Structures are given as structure tokens and as C-alpha cells.
Amino acid sequence: MTKRLLAFLLLALPACAAALDRSELAELNDMYRGGKYEEALEGYNKAIAADPSDPWAWYNAGNALFRLNRNGQAVYHYARAFTLDPRSPDIRANLDFALKQTGQALVPDGVPAALHYLYYLLSLDELKALAALLFWAACLAGAARFLMDGARPGVLAGRAALAAAALLLLSLAWLGARRTSPFTSAGVVTRAGGTRMLSGPGENFKTYASAPEGRLVKILDADDDDYYEIGLAKEGIKGWALKTEIDRL
């Protein structure tokens, strides 16, 4: 499996980005295939600027960054792509591979892969849209039940309202569960060599830990102008790190 993923990372061309037309994409693909990763990356970054909601622009940039040995930035770009399109097997595979280079994994130990896939079946934006749709469906069906009280269509509308309400509660519970995701209120250490974790927001505080390059961290406090308070869940520690050394998801 690892060999297959490595071959994919090294040999596969970037996927199509919606922000690029065919000629632009072909030119960037030629650059990527020819080993001109910096030039290709510049083009993919332009695609990101043109459409930050395009997961394939982030994914393509992640591929170029990985080939440039900028693993922290590659993890960040793959993670951004994953949050936009968590169902893509290509994005999942490359994110997992990049995470493993820093001692992490997309699927935590002990969690069935199928359950993890279902947990991320929809993006947060899709979940929010689904919840809004179910809310209005429940409201409209409830109103129809009230207006057609006693008639058969009214009974059916009442059942539809109950079903929509039940699904709405389920979607809200799903949204709540996703708040604990490693990709929610999180960032990636993108500084080469990692970042220092200080006991407070300033150089006058002591360094007592560090977070390696490419590490996913929880952002606990972002109010300071220059520092994030970050947490490392696995180690159970927290500290303050420069915002310039962490890219927020």
C-alpha cells in the first residue's frame, strides 16, 4: 500500500483545478512533469487566489510542495483540500501519506476506516447546508400539516415534518461531533524545523516544548497579535507559538 501511494505521489499529474482553463492546466502539468515544481507551484497558488474554495488547486499545490520537500506546507495544502472535498480518494491518500512523514495518520489508531470515512462524508459547509435545508423542510411540512389538518395530505405532511425534524437533529449532532475533528479550530506547523512552544505570548517567556514541521495542532487562543496558543492533543500539552510559523486551517 505504501509503495502504491509513493508511486502515486511521484508519478501522477496534478488533478484539474476549476480556476484554470485547459491551456493553463496543461502548461502547469508540463512544468510539474518536467520537474519545474517552483514554477508549477506559482501557477497553482494563483489558482488558489482566484478560487480558494477549489480543493484541486490546494491539492495540486500540495503535490508541488511535497516534491520540493516542504512537508509542512504540503500537509497544510492537502488538509485544506481535504476540508473542502473529504470524499476524494486522491486527496485522502496524499494527505495520509504526508501526515505519516511527520508521525501522524489521517485515520487514528483503533478507528475503523469505514467509520472514519462516514464521519467525513460531508464537508462542514455541506453539513451546514444540509441542516438549513432540513430546517426549512420541517417548517414547510409542519405548516402544510397545520393548514390541511384532518386531510390525508395533511397527515402525510405531518409525517414528513417529523422525519425532517429527526434528520435535522441528526445533522446537528453530526455537526457537533465534527467540532472535535483535528481539522476544526486547527492549524499546521509550516516552519521548516518546527516551532517553539512558549509558556506565554512573548519572547520573554520560556521555551518548554516544540511542535515539529507538518504537525496538526489545535488553536486554543488567537486573540494575541503575534502568537497562537496551541495544543498538542497526543502529548496533552499546550503553549504559545508565533502565528507566522503556523498556517490556520
pTM for this entry: 0.86
Q: Could you tell me the three cell numbers for 97?
A: 501519506
Q: Judge whether 76 and 249 are in contact, CB under 8 Å.
A: yes
Q: What's the chain's average pLDDT?
A: 87
Q: Which CATH number fits domain 2-108: 3.40.50.740, 3.10.310.30, 1.25.40.10, 3.40.50.170?
A: 1.25.40.10
pLDDT score for 72: 95
Q: What is the DSSP string of 104-127?
A: --SS-TTS-HHHHHHHTSS-HHHH
Tell me the pLDDT band of 107, cut-offs 50, 70 and 90: very high
Return the domain boundaries, the chain: 2-108, 124-178, 186-248
pLDDT score for 1: 44
- Chain centre distance of CA 102: 17
pLDDT score for 229: 96
**Distance, CA of 233 to CA of 195 (rounded, Å):** 16
Of residues 249 and 179, more confidently modeled: 249
- Place domain 186-248 in its CATH homologous superfamily: SH3 Domains (2.30.30.40)
pLDDT tens track for 51-88: 899 999 999 999 999 999 999 999 999 999 999 999 99
| Degrees, nearest 5: CA angle 89-38-85 | 20
pLDDT tens track for 14-30: 665 656 666 777 788 78
The crossing angle, in degrees rounded to 10, of helices 55-67 and 2-11 is 100
Tell me the pLDDT band of 13, cut-offs 50, 70 and 90: low
pLDDT above 90 for 241: yes
pLDDT score for 30: 82
Of residues 23 and 9, more confidently modeled: 23
Of residues 158 and 109, more confidently modeled: 109
Which sign, positive or negative, has the C-alpha torsion 142, 147, 150, 151? negative
Edge-to-edge strand list for the sheet holding 216-221: 207-211, 195-198, 237-242, 227-232, 216-221, 186-189, 246-248
pLDDT tens track for 190-240: 999 999 999 999 999 999 899 999 999 999 999 999 999 999 988 889 999
pLDDT tens track for 127-177: 999 999 999 988 888 887 777 766 667 778 778 888 988 999 999 999 999
pLDDT above 90 for 7: no
